Amino acid sequence: MMFIDHSDRIADNPARLHYGVAVCDVNGDGAFEAFVAGFGSANRVLKWDGSHLVDVADAVLADPERQAIGVAAGDIDGDGREEIYVLNTDTFAGRKRFGDRLFACNHGAWRDLFGEAANAEALNLTAGRSVAALDRKGDGGYGFLVANYGGPMRLYELDKEGRLVDVAGEAGVALVTGGRGLVAGPLVGEGPDIFAANERGANFLFRHIGGGRFAEAADAWGVADPRENGRGVAVFDAGAHFGLIWGNWDGPHRMMVREANAPYRDVTSKAMICPSLVRTVIAADFDNDGYEEIFFNNIGQENRLFGRREGQWIPLDPAAAAEPLGLGTGAAVADFDGDGSLELLVSHGESDAQPLTLYKSPANANFWLRVLPLTRQGAPARGAVVTLEAAGRRQRRLIDGGSGYLCQMEPVAHFGLGAVGRVEGVEVCWPDGTTAAVAHPEPGQVLRVAYPT
């Protein structure tokens, strides 16, 4: 599998300092755009216009005076439309000058909730790295979990009066570390567990213990990795239980799997474990063959791509996406042009300004199916699990709430089917345990699955 460079499909693509990328429906038309964080320059909202990705950010979202690095979307107010959390960081660690933004859209106009007087005391002024949308109580009401560096983690929700409050202490996640990457999903239990990749200290695994509360248990589950410096982290299909894969900054990378009631164990191949200056890590089926690939986005080094062949994870040639001179800071996947094949959008910056890049796998005849679960309020159900069965084989995907480092993938379960043109069934499991099944959906479509009423 090789990537083809489609960067010419990005209209008006100057060299800038860009960081995190989140894929969400910014303008409420049912299609997904890429929100790209601008560091000392405008944020961008890239929308497919039929031939190119064009910037449609208004003045509020562009916010050119801030230094944005992390971004995630989630429906925090339960109106069926996602809000956008933008994490600004103007210092390496500790207290910062520029507060975060939480953009909400009402009647077509965006506003910053942190900029309102009622929410001033809640403003996060600690340097952070990643943010994730978390439905901790399984009611479709999301909060935004922030991985801070040198200060306690934050978990922002709306109270009954509609004010932003930090409930990290109540939830049991207000720990202090060098926070980096975040993912949330059913990792060791049935509820939405949280894995946090950290720097200069052990990783966290917050096990959901009920009622929207968590207990830290990384060491017991074998994922603490205390001597390394975590960056990007992703969840991948490893059978009955999701696997975890994370990159360590200039250290050995980790691919972890587990069996029932057992801790995670390291199954990283010799090729994958090799250290690199890693940023975002992505698990996705780029070529629709029915098996996920793993993409490591590096800064100042070649990017890496891995695929599973005959039971082994081996290096693949990323071709144009290797970017040996690229200063990668973030990356995300989505099917922007709607053809059933994923695009890979890579952002660059930090040490020098570079344009965005866009890649795609060569066209093939493989079948595919995309599943978009919705909350009871009608928003994307981030944190839901989708299982597909075809030709006697099961595939599983986690709808992404936040995929550290700095980024968030599209809220769609993308399934490649290879040569298999018939699907036996699809099942969606929401964070509260509610399930819905769809028998024999036709491939080649985006299947929207509403929360059962």
Residue positions counted in the chain = 453
Helix (DSSP H) and strand (DSSP E) numbers for the chain: 2, 35
Q: Identify the structural domains of the chain with CATH numbers, from first to last.
A: 4-360 (2.130.10.10), 367-449 (2.60.40)
Which tens digit of pLDDT belongs to each residue from 145-188?
A: 999 998 999 999 999 999 999 999 999 999 999 999 999 999 99
- Model pLDDT, residue 368: 98
Average pLDDT over residues 68-74: 97
- Model pLDDT, residue 98: 86
Residue pair 269/313 in contact by the 8 Å Cβ criterion = yes
For residue 260, give the 3-state DSSP assignment: coil
Token digits of residue 44: 């961008």
Residue 168's H or E segment, with its range, is: helix 168-171
Indicate whether 316 pLDDT > 90. yes
Distances (CA, A) of 77 to 69, 81, 158, 422: 23, 8, 7, 39
- Model pLDDT, residue 182: 97
- Model pLDDT, residue 309: 85
Give percent of the chain with pLDDT exceeding 90: 92
Beta bridge partners of 344: 333, 359
Distances (CA, A) of 95 to 47, 89, 119, 178: 34, 9, 18, 13
Average pLDDT over residues 259-271: 94
Predicted confidence band of residue 93 (pLDDT cuts 50, 70, 90): confident
For residue 38, give the 3-state DSSP assignment: strand
For residue 127, give the 3-state DSSP assignment: coil
Predicted confidence band of residue 1 (pLDDT cuts 50, 70, 90): low
Amino acid code (one letter) for 297: N
Return all residues near 360 (Cβ < 8 A) that are at least 6 apart: 3, 4, 6, 341, 342, 343, 344
Which tens digit of pLDDT belongs to each residue from 242-252?
A: 999 999 999 99
Indicate whether 111 pLDDT > 70. yes
User: Average pLDDT of the chain?
Assistant: 96
Which tens digit of pLDDT belongs to each residue from 426-446?
A: 999 999 999 999 999 999 999
CA–CA separation, 349 and 44 (whole Å): 14
- Model pLDDT, residue 261: 86
Which tens digit of pLDDT belongs to each residue from 185-244?
A: 999 988 899 999 999 999 999 999 999 999 999 999 999 999 999 999 999 999 999 999
Average pLDDT over residues 300-314: 93
Residue pair 299/350 in contact by the 8 Å Cβ criterion = yes
Average pLDDT over residues 302-327: 94
Residue pair 419/367 in contact by the 8 Å Cβ criterion = yes
Burial class (CB in 10 A: 0-12, 13-18, 19+), 325: exposed
Indicate whether 419 pLDDT > 80. yes
Which tens digit of pLDDT belongs to each residue from 389-398?
A: 999 999 999 9
